[in-house]
Chains A and B, each alone.
Chain A
């Protein structure tokens, strides 16, 4: 979900927060919040965010802001329970491979939408059929590439026939942006449905239904008493989500207790400041977002198509950079602890995550080591300083990228081993350039579609990948393909760890930071911790006021 990173001027740091009027901090539950002195019923929670919604229709949006909303209002076949990175049946009774290519889901009995319509296997079939049919340019249909056909033999049974058998990521895909189940009577079968029609049709069967909707300004939610899924009923009655565009305004409102929760995105400075404020609580949880440097194997120094192509030297250059980078310093100085050092490709907290880079580079304990870098370059016969141009995006991965890369430049140049030419380009052009070998070394970031290690490997390190950096290790390629279809969990985890170790030696990319999810809440809000988990889904239903 790219838009995890899209809001241009504001930090990525995920944050949330709530605030209640200071004198209410004692904890009475029937008070109104902040400015909201009119019709606020008891237990109304106001959430502020700088997310951007593009559509309420799952077929028309593939971005984080819209997905947050969908997670509140739509049910999934598979979903991540609070506190876990792994999926379990949500509105399904059971879900399993009945044959290697047949994934059978049994729905619970008596499911309904908020508009009274029954939720049956026919709705489920409709949901996925329309995703594939509409295949909207802004939609997530590409995640469903493995679905061949869908059948609904009876009201509670759905059978997915897959092109490739034993796809271990398929249950996760059902919890991804391609997975929200919609009402076949409300949604159009062959076009993205307009938000206004969706709100009017009330085809909601998640924890909440939407009572009032003004895109990117205000969404009013009411708990849905008929939700029967794994998350349980929402623990509050009414949630109002307020959309900001400037994180500084979000920060001021949470600081002044005008809203109860601020989730995504406050700047590092803001969070640092709010931590000192006793009217609010800053809650941290693991985040799935990673930041990394990509090497173009063709055009980087000594790359395959450069004049002095030399595989050994090119590897030495990558390794020396891995030796020199000081993750702690970037996390502290630039991000003030809202990011943490990352030593592998899979985000920490997910099943199968390792710290593969730690023992290989720098001082082997996570810190940098200039002497090691120097020795490595000398051993490979690389003349120093190595001239390298690094590109970063100043508008897609938060406002701190500039400071971040200025610091990385300093770190690489500190001992005269590198001479860095730092450049930045506006995001659209950036994407055109990076995939056409214009940038030898460049910045990217990632936010997963679903919380499975596979989503950190398959898109990146197969021969055909979205980085297009010409990295090609057949062994890695095979291992990645193999783990995806290995039903045995332990065996699969070992394979995933293997992949990370191998890529860590090759350094196709250099991961260095992982973003926390951070919510800021008023002191009378509890339950935030429950939803800031490795599912990376923020559920309003977990929040309790008072």
Chain B
């Protein structure tokens, strides 16, 4: 979260002193941090529990894999052998016990350690998310400022419609169109995947593979590989990034407009600072703060979008893998991935809260 540093450079001080009701109710910042941190645990616990029981109502991995081939007796025998016919509660306790011991298990459908899956596919999703966020910032923030500056005029209206379109276009539809234009007609970008075969083979033999293809590509020291990896990232990053860019654009616009009408800016305005300069210098920084706080939520949105983006572009990441494991009813894998996603979202929000609290003491409990 590179923008975190920006956020600390808060623009104007709060216009009014915090009202008495805002006073921290005993305990200082440390206590607040602790409470926030401890709340992560129930969040994850709830999600994992819900997913555990939901998944068990949907069938078992053995029927999913062998149902079209084995007799009911054979199926029942295998299900018994795997222990899926035991009381749910016992399975649940067992599962919790394993998790507490740090054992996330081995997937049922393809016999791989869940931790390996989380690392392998997690890095892919993280890489995609970083690219998408970059696109979102690069597109969303300047355009949002432009819209605020030209508010209530044609530019503003069309930018806002553009922002809504970004959100309204399903990622898979956008992906389809992007592929058609850039891969099939113009032939300038690859259809799908994270790298071409040659590059992947080169990266696979690296001693310190990170799973972040860009870093791995740089490690190979081969500019062709780096270019190849970047080319593959363009379309997925744009498809997913625009989704978020629309949100950022609207956020920046709203908040810049809001700041422009504050006394602080009024003061600057009265000093004769030009309107464009006002937007750029005075209204923009404070307007970034709410964006940072919203990133937490954007992570959830981004991950949902990632399922579709990853599927459309063969970007083999967590979201895509999760939908595959759901289909094969691989409880263990699904639970592991859900737990990781929950941790990511919760921790992001935790960090964002800390930043927010540092900026504005009023939010503390």
Contacts and interface: CB of A to CB of B under 8 A. Distances in A.
Interface of A: 1-3, 5-6, 8, 32, 34-40, 46, 52-55, 57, 60, 62-63, 135, 137-138, 142, 192, 194-195, 212, 214-218, 220, 240, 242, 244-246, 249, 252-253, 256, 258-259, 395-396, 427-432, 435, 444-445, 459, 464-466, 468
Nearest to B327: A8
Given A38-B198, A252-B191, A435-B72, 4 more contacts: A37-B198, A54-B65, A142-B70, A215-B112
A468 B197 contact: no
**SS of A interface (majority):** loop
B197 A36 contact: yes
A246 B192 contact: yes
Nearest to A191: B111
B312 A246 contact: yes
A36 B198 contact: yes
A394 to B, nearest CB: 12
A245 B81 contact: no
B62 A137 contact: yes
A172 B344 CA distance: 51
Nearest to B84: A137
B59 interface: yes
A435 B75 CA distance: 11
Interface stretch (B24-32, B40-48, B199-207, B272-280): B199-207
Contact of B198 (A32, A55, A468): A32
Contacts of A52: 324
B30 to A, nearest CB: 44
A214 B200 contact: yes
Contacts of A3: 65
A220 B68 contact: no
A335 B113 CA distance: 39
Nearest to B225: A38
Contacts of A220: 201, 204
27 contacts: A2-B65, A5-B68, A34-B197, A35-B228, A38-B202, A54-B109, A54-B110, A54-B111, A55-B111, A60-B111, A62-B66, A62-B69, A135-B81, A138-B109, A194-B113, A195-B112, A215-B110, A252-B191, A256-B184, A256-B187, A427-B68, A428-B59, A431-B63, A431-B68, A432-B59, A465-B71, A466-B70
A2 B197 contact: no
A211 to B, nearest CB: 9
Contacts of B205: 212
B362 interface: no
Nearest to A445: B68
Interface of B: 58-60, 62-72, 74-75, 78-79, 81-82, 108-113, 179, 183-184, 187, 190-193, 196-202, 204-205, 222, 224-225, 228, 311-314, 316, 320, 324, 327, 329
A202 B179 CA distance: 39
Complex A-B, nearest 8 residue pairs according to Cβ-Cβ distance, in ascending order: A431-B67, A35-B196, A428-B59, A38-B198, A36-B198, A137-B78, A249-B192, A252-B191
Nearest to A218: B200
A142 B72 contact: no
A332 to B, nearest CB: 26
A55 B190 contact: no
A212 B190 contact: no
Given A38-B198, A428-B59, A249 B64 contact: no
A468 B67 contact: no
A249 B191 contact: yes
A358 B179 CA distance: 46
A428 B67 contact: yes
Contacts of B311: 245-246
Nearest to B58: A428
Contacts of B78: 137
Nearest to B313: A249
Contact of B71 (A6, A242, A466): A466
A195 B116 CA distance: 12
Contacts of B200: 214, 217-218
Contacts of A217: 200, 316
A54 B110 CA distance: 4
